[in-house]
Amino acid sequence: MLAVHGTTYKPCPPYAHHENGVAERMIQTITEKARSMMIYSQAPLVSWREAVSTAVYLHQRTPNKGLTKRDNRDGYQAPYPTPYKMLQAFGKPSHNNDGNKISYKAPLHHLRRFGCYASQLIPEPQCHGRFSARSKPCMMVGYVHDSITL
Protein backbone atom coordinates (compact mmCIF):
# COMPACT_ATOMS: atom_id res chain seq x y z
CA MET A 1 0.00 0.00 0.00
CA LEU A 2 2.84 2.36 0.83
CA ALA A 3 4.59 1.48 -2.40
CA VAL A 4 1.54 2.53 -4.41
CA HIS A 5 1.84 6.03 -3.03
CA GLY A 6 5.60 6.11 -3.38
CA THR A 7 6.26 6.10 0.34
CA THR A 8 9.37 4.54 1.84
CA TYR A 9 8.61 2.15 4.68
CA LYS A 10 10.99 2.51 7.61
CA PRO A 11 10.10 0.16 10.44
CA CYS A 12 12.17 0.08 13.61
CA PRO A 13 13.79 -3.14 14.76
CA PRO A 14 12.17 -4.81 17.78
CA TYR A 15 13.05 -3.42 21.24
CA ALA A 16 14.35 -0.23 19.65
CA HIS A 17 11.50 2.09 20.45
CA HIS A 18 13.84 5.04 20.70
CA GLU A 19 14.18 5.04 16.92
CA ASN A 20 10.53 5.95 16.78
CA GLY A 21 11.08 8.48 19.53
CA VAL A 22 9.10 11.26 17.87
CA ALA A 23 5.96 9.14 17.82
CA GLU A 24 6.47 7.81 21.32
CA ARG A 25 6.96 11.30 22.71
CA MET A 26 3.91 12.60 20.89
CA ILE A 27 1.80 9.83 22.37
CA GLN A 28 2.93 10.98 25.79
CA THR A 29 2.06 14.60 25.03
CA ILE A 30 -1.36 13.79 23.63
CA THR A 31 -2.23 11.35 26.39
CA GLU A 32 -1.20 13.85 29.06
CA LYS A 33 -3.34 16.56 27.52
CA ALA A 34 -6.30 14.23 27.23
CA ARG A 35 -5.89 12.92 30.76
CA SER A 36 -5.74 16.39 32.27
CA MET A 37 -8.84 17.52 30.43
CA MET A 38 -10.77 14.41 31.43
CA ILE A 39 -9.78 14.67 35.07
CA TYR A 40 -10.66 18.34 35.30
CA SER A 41 -14.00 18.01 33.56
CA GLN A 42 -14.78 14.74 35.37
CA ALA A 43 -15.76 13.29 32.04
CA PRO A 44 -16.57 9.57 31.97
CA LEU A 45 -13.68 7.35 30.88
CA VAL A 46 -15.52 6.16 27.79
CA SER A 47 -15.10 9.64 26.34
CA TRP A 48 -11.34 9.26 25.91
CA ARG A 49 -11.79 9.23 22.15
CA GLU A 50 -13.16 12.78 22.22
CA ALA A 51 -10.51 13.86 24.72
CA VAL A 52 -7.71 12.50 22.51
CA SER A 53 -9.15 14.15 19.40
CA THR A 54 -9.48 17.45 21.25
CA ALA A 55 -5.92 17.13 22.54
CA VAL A 56 -4.63 16.65 18.99
CA TYR A 57 -6.78 19.55 17.77
CA LEU A 58 -5.36 21.79 20.47
CA HIS A 59 -1.83 20.58 19.84
CA GLN A 60 -2.07 21.96 16.28
CA ARG A 61 -2.88 25.33 17.77
CA THR A 62 -0.23 25.28 20.51
CA PRO A 63 3.02 27.19 20.06
CA ASN A 64 5.91 24.78 19.80
CA LYS A 65 9.41 25.90 20.63
CA GLY A 66 10.92 23.02 18.75
CA LEU A 67 9.49 24.31 15.51
CA THR A 68 11.43 27.57 15.62
CA LYS A 69 14.61 26.21 14.10
CA ARG A 70 12.74 24.61 11.27
CA ASP A 71 11.08 27.81 10.24
CA ASN A 72 13.31 29.10 7.48
CA ARG A 73 11.46 32.26 6.71
CA ASP A 74 13.08 35.51 7.85
CA GLY A 75 11.63 37.43 10.71
CA TYR A 76 9.42 34.60 11.69
CA GLN A 77 11.22 33.44 14.81
CA ALA A 78 9.06 34.73 17.64
CA PRO A 79 6.48 34.03 18.84
CA TYR A 80 6.92 30.31 18.45
CA PRO A 81 4.94 28.92 15.56
CA THR A 82 2.16 26.42 15.88
CA PRO A 83 2.00 23.30 13.71
CA TYR A 84 -1.20 24.61 12.15
CA LYS A 85 0.39 27.87 11.10
CA MET A 86 3.50 26.17 9.77
CA LEU A 87 1.47 23.86 7.62
CA GLN A 88 -0.80 26.57 6.34
CA ALA A 89 2.03 28.98 5.65
CA PHE A 90 4.44 26.56 4.06
CA GLY A 91 5.49 27.68 0.64
CA LYS A 92 3.07 30.59 0.62
CA PRO A 93 3.98 34.27 0.44
CA SER A 94 4.18 36.11 3.72
CA HIS A 95 2.90 39.35 2.18
CA ASN A 96 0.10 39.99 -0.23
CA ASN A 97 0.24 42.18 -3.29
CA ASP A 98 -0.50 45.29 -1.27
CA GLY A 99 2.53 44.64 0.95
CA ASN A 100 0.50 43.68 4.01
CA LYS A 101 1.34 40.64 6.06
CA ILE A 102 -0.84 37.61 5.57
CA SER A 103 -1.76 35.90 8.80
CA TYR A 104 -1.85 32.14 8.78
CA LYS A 105 -2.77 31.94 12.43
CA ALA A 106 -5.39 29.49 13.56
CA PRO A 107 -8.54 31.13 14.89
CA LEU A 108 -8.91 30.63 18.62
CA HIS A 109 -12.14 32.52 19.31
CA HIS A 110 -14.22 29.35 19.28
CA LEU A 111 -12.20 27.42 21.87
CA ARG A 112 -13.99 26.38 25.02
CA ARG A 113 -12.96 24.40 28.06
CA PHE A 114 -13.24 20.65 27.44
CA GLY A 115 -16.36 19.30 29.11
CA CYS A 116 -17.97 22.67 29.73
CA TYR A 117 -21.73 23.09 29.85
CA ALA A 118 -23.50 23.47 26.54
CA SER A 119 -27.14 23.46 25.60
CA GLN A 120 -28.36 21.94 22.41
CA LEU A 121 -31.37 23.48 20.72
CA ILE A 122 -34.13 20.99 20.04
CA PRO A 123 -35.60 21.56 16.57
CA GLU A 124 -39.15 22.76 16.79
CA PRO A 125 -40.80 19.74 15.10
CA GLN A 126 -39.24 17.52 17.75
CA CYS A 127 -40.61 19.51 20.69
CA HIS A 128 -43.45 17.94 22.57
CA GLY A 129 -45.95 20.67 23.14
CA ARG A 130 -45.68 24.36 23.76
CA PHE A 131 -44.22 24.13 27.29
CA SER A 132 -41.62 21.46 26.79
CA ALA A 133 -37.92 22.28 27.02
CA ARG A 134 -36.47 23.96 23.98
CA SER A 135 -32.92 22.77 24.62
CA LYS A 136 -31.18 19.95 26.38
CA PRO A 137 -28.09 20.19 28.58
CA CYS A 138 -24.89 18.78 27.02
CA MET A 139 -21.16 18.64 27.48
CA MET A 140 -18.68 20.13 25.07
CA VAL A 141 -16.37 17.31 24.04
CA GLY A 142 -14.46 18.55 21.03
CA TYR A 143 -14.16 20.37 17.74
CA VAL A 144 -14.89 19.49 14.15
CA HIS A 145 -12.78 21.87 12.05
CA ASP A 146 -13.83 25.19 13.48
CA SER A 147 -17.16 24.21 14.98
CA ILE A 148 -17.96 22.52 18.24
CA THR A 149 -19.32 19.01 18.84
CA LEU A 150 -21.60 18.32 21.74
Interface with other proteins (CB under 8 A): 1-2, 5-14, 16-20, 22-24, 26-27, 30-31, 45-49, 52-53, 56, 59-60, 64, 66-67, 69-70, 72, 83-84, 86-87, 90
- Kindly state the smallest distance separating residue 116's Cβ from other proteins, in Å: 20
- Kindly state the smallest distance separating residue 67's Cβ from other proteins, in Å: 6
Three-state DSSP at 89 gives helix
Q: Which residues contact 29 (CB under 8 A, 6 or more apart)?
A: 59
Shorter beta-carbon distance to other proteins: residue 51 or 140: 51
Q: From CA 127, how far away is CA 131, in angstroms rounded?
A: 9
For 92-109, give one letter per residue: b (16+ CB within 10 A) or e. eeeeeeeeeeeebebeee
Shorter beta-carbon distance to other proteins: residue 83 or 118: 83
- Kindly state the smallest distance separating residue 132's Cβ from other proteins, in Å: 27
Q: Which residues pair with 139 in a beta bridge?
A: 117
